[in-house]
């Protein structure tokens, strides 16, 4: 995800993994993390935070300077160029 390539796909994978971790491992331990060392395991507070951050990436993508955006701009420019040439050929 650092380069911004396949950001939405990899963030979706992170969401799936964290939801699985919450449901299968951390839910019985409650919400809060084990800061004081008094409970048997860790809660799902951190995992829910990661789900929220990853959902932002799923919805908005990697941003203007990500490789996803660079590739999309190049494909769009190629598509516009191809459409313009195709229109001139028909005239």
Q: What is the mean pLDDT of residues 40-62?
A: 93
The answer on pLDDT for 36 being more than 90 is no
- Provide the token pair at 34: 């084990």
pLDDT of residue 28: 87
pLDDT of residue 59: 96
pLDDT of residue 88: 55
The burial of 26, by beta-carbon neighbours within 10 Å (0-12 exposed, 13-18 middle, 19 or more buried), is given as buried
Task: Please state the three-class secondary structure of 46-70 as a single string.
Answer: HHHHHHHHHHHHHHHCCCCCCHHHH
- The CA–CA distances, whole Å, from 71 to 5, 43, 78 equal 9, 40, 11
pLDDT of residue 83: 61
The burial of 74, by beta-carbon neighbours within 10 Å (0-12 exposed, 13-18 middle, 19 or more buried), is given as exposed
The answer on pLDDT for 74 being more than 80 is yes
What predicted TM-score, i.e. pTM, was given to this entire model? 0.75
């Amino acid at each position: 995800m650092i380069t911004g390539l396949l950001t939405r796909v990899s963030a979706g994978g992170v969401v799936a993994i964290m939801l699985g971790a919450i449901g299968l491992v951390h839910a019985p331990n409650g919400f809060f993390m084990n800061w004081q060392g008094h409970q048997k395991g860790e809660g799902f507070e951190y995992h829910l935070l990661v789900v929220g951050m990853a959902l932002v990436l799923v919805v908005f993508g990697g941003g203007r300077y990500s490789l996803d955006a660079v590739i999309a701009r190049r494909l769009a420019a190629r598509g516009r160029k191809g459409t313009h040439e195709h229109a001139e050929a028909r005239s």
